[in-house]
Amino acid sequence: YTRRADRVVASVCPFCGVGCAVAIHVKDGRIDRVEGAPGPANDGRLCVKGRFGMDYVHHPQRLTTPLIRRADAPKDPAILTRGPDGRADHAKLLAQFRPATWDEALDTAAAGLARMRDAARAQGLRGRAVPVAGFGSAKGSNEEAYLFQKLIRSAFRTHNVDHCTRLCHASSVAALMEGIGSGAVSNPVRDVAHADFIFVIGANPVQNHPVAATWIKNAVRRGARLVLADPRRTELARHAWRTLTFTPGADVALLNAMLHVIVSEGLVDEAFVAERVHPGDLAALRAHLQAFAPEAMAPLCGIDAATIREVARAYATSPASMIFWGMGVAQHSHGTDNARALIALALLTGQIGRPGTGLHPLRGQNNVQGASDAGLIPMVLPDYHRVGVPEHRAAAEAAWGLPAGFLPDEPGLTVVEILDAAYEGRIRAMLIQGENPAMSDPDAAHAREALARLEHLTVIDIFLTETAALADVVLPATAWPEKTGTVTNTDRTVQLGRPAVAPPGDARADAWILEQLARRLGLAWNYGIDPHGGGAEPGSGIGRVFDEMRGLMPALAGLSWERLLRVGAITHPVPTADDPGHPIVFTDRFPTADGRAHLVSARLSAPAEPPDADYPFVLITGRQLEHWHTGAMTRRSAVLDAIEPVPHVSLHPQTLARLGVAAGGCVVLRSRRGQITVATRADEAVPPDVAFMPFAYAEAAANLLTIPALDPIAKIAEVKYCAVAIEAV
Ligand code: SF4
């Protein structure tokens, strides 16, 4: 690090939802190093991904020219099967395509999508019945997410548009919207500095939100009591006052037992409930909770009644208690019920609306909050305006120059539903930007076959991902450090990123690609977006997109592009031009019709696929510190890939002994949907009847095993729980 940078560019880390501010040092047109900057979420701190992981931008496999599938290369998911060394044969994947000019590729992509649209129009189809769908990206900018959903809705007259929030926090958002009228966090992570009691459930922040974990650990050092609840005894347990290693899938049993203690031991904050909760809800919840005494729930959740009572009392009686949760709560067929119980904990005890309290679903991707805010969801328009409300549709139609009554009133299909429809031929064309469902969707073999069956698939991405390898047209896009844009982190903080380096070859800005496609699909878009990702000044193309977007979003109404350029970061809601933003919300009312919250009873239901004699283990999938989601970026980062180069399954030493396998030896994991061979890792944090696997590795794709069982409300898949068999190789 002795080389002097040619320039240093302020931006945001492209990986997790913490949203750490970074200073990108550029030398000779390449990213030389990355340092933490004093941003609102990190104050200079970074984890290994933020500091060492950005070299994926310069990887030789970056796409540099548009690609069109060769006529003699039929789509075949079998091409994704890896060789003996586990690595993808990139040359083989690339050989399916021929280089094309931008005009030819854009024309081909637009024609493929328009063909299905025109067929739908001829049949008078609209809404869900339109055989076109789009997956946008939580890794792109807010402006890209906004343009993507606008394109799908305006060009195809459908709300069949979704993104990875469906596989991430859809259940949390559904429960939060239902309970308190907002799907975002109530308090930022760093507000944990004011908490006396911290409840972390179904989250592993040391691995998945590392800088957030440092703020939690700081709070514990200051004297806060931390309770970690998770089926695995993860690293944060070293800092915990109590660790509840509960039975996988038994979240509702544990949480309802805690609620039972609160209502039966007089720990309800009656004044708060009387003022802030809908009349009648408490009585209904009280009646529901009668069956959930800790003594009755202990055998189900594996936590003794005395500990449940102790933790519930501590949560309720601490001056300020804060809840963090993650995918372990959300990714279940009962994920919405899990989140409902957490919301009830905060509402019953008045632990919300003050510093050091509240509800914080830790967002996964760097812009999953922003992409959701921007309306990249099949049931809502920007700012969570429901598609079923005529005034909301009318506002979007007016802003987008669409005829009155153009937008359908029924929600579109969700991620897993879209791929099921593609498998069955009801969805025939798709546009995918920066998502990799061939790796991230449950029952990945089914997802890959569904993608291959599409009559037309255009993918916008920076690498030839497993999904792009099944496309008809691949459009080379920009990585985050190559473009101007905003992202919104888990705290609701909107932050500006500026381009540090130029895109490689003939790669173009995603927003420019979307604008070009829109024009070819007959939409009169004229933002004037820079094809190479630049242009931040007021009046620039991206600035115009941002200002149009905020015009539809009361939460951002006071944040003009010009103001954002000045301040760099601000936490929404920002309703007026002089509003400083609101890191803590719900201080005096909830954003519901009457300002009051709803207490909703959480039902107890079993996981979709419990273990049995044939499949005796529970498989839990997740992430790890060094690799990000499907690995498209981090496995192309030299340092990160060097630290964790091969897939592994973590098993308890007793399990390894039972299987007769030494740590490091290989096993076959088999579910009712597929099988993989993978090396083992001894891990005492994993219970003996459980296997844990990251899903970042294509050569042992964990999602070949997972089950597509959906939460009936949020339609999130149960990728945190399925039954597997494990055998020594
Ligand atoms: Fe990036 Fe998240 Fe690490 Fe911060 S904690 S450096 S945002 S991956």
pLDDT of residue 82: 74
pLDDT 10s digits, 37-67: 999 999 999 999 999 999 999 999 999 999 9
- The residues facing 98 across adjacent strands are 68
Check whether 313 has a pLDDT greater than 70: yes
CA 209 to chain centre: 13
Task: Give the ligand 1 atom nearest the CA of 15.
Answer: 8
Where helices occur in 637-720 by DSSP H, the ranges are 638-643, 653-659
pLDDT of residue 83: 63
Task: Give the ligand 1 atom nearest the CA of 46.
Answer: 6
| CB 13 less than 6 A from any atom of ligand 1 | yes
Sign of the dihedral defined by the CA atoms of residues 107, 109, 111, 113, in that order: negative
CA 718 to chain centre: 14
**Residue of 33, 49, 637 with the most ligand 1 atoms within 8 Å of its CB, for mutation:** 49
Task: Give the ligand 1 atom nearest the CA of 22.
Answer: 6
Q: What is the distance between the alpha carbons of residues 108 and 459, in angstroms, rounded to a whole number?
A: 12
pLDDT 10s digits, 479-490: 999 999 999 999
Which DSSP category does 710 fall into?
B
Sign of the dihedral defined by the CA atoms of residues 179, 317, 246, 259, in that order: negative
pLDDT of residue 439: 95
319, 158 contact by CB (below 8 A): no
pLDDT band at 103; cut points 50, 70, 90: very high
Task: Give the ligand 1 atom nearest the CA of 212.
Answer: 5
Domains defined along the chain, listed by start: 7-58 (2.20.25.90), 67-163+367-532 (3.40.50.740), 170-361 (3.40.228.10), 617-728 (2.40.40.20)
**Residue 679, SS3?**
strand
Q: What is the distance between the alpha carbons of residues 134 and 154, in angstroms, rounded to a whole number?
A: 12
Q: What is the distance between the alpha carbons of residues 135 and 426, in angstroms, rounded to a whole number?
A: 16
104, 473 contact by CB (below 8 A): no
**Residue of 42, 627, 628, 633 with the most ligand 1 atoms within 8 Å of its CB, for mutation:** 42
Beta-carbon count within 10 A of 398 CB: 11
| CB 46 less than 6 A from any atom of ligand 1 | yes
**Residue of 12, 209, 489 with the most ligand 1 atoms within 8 Å of its CB, for mutation:** 209
Rounded to 5 degrees, φ, ψ at 220 are -65, -40
Check whether 593 has a pLDDT greater than 80: yes
Residue 316 host element (H or E):
helix 305-317
pLDDT of residue 322: 98
The Cβ-side half-sphere exposure at 207, using a 13 Å CA radius, reads 19
Q: Give residue 48 CA to ligand 1 midpoint distance, Å.
A: 8
Q: Give residue 19 CA to ligand 1 midpoint distance, Å.
A: 6
Percent of the residues in the chain that have a pLDDT greater than 70, as a whole number: 99
pLDDT band at 188; cut points 50, 70, 90: very high
Residue whose CA is at the smallest distance from ligand 1 atom 2: 16
**Residue of 11, 18, 51, 367 with the most ligand 1 atoms within 8 Å of its CB, for mutation:** 18
Spatial CB neighbours of 277, under 8 Å, sequence gap ≥ 6: 347, 596, 597, 598, 599
| CB 16 less than 6 A from any atom of ligand 1 | yes
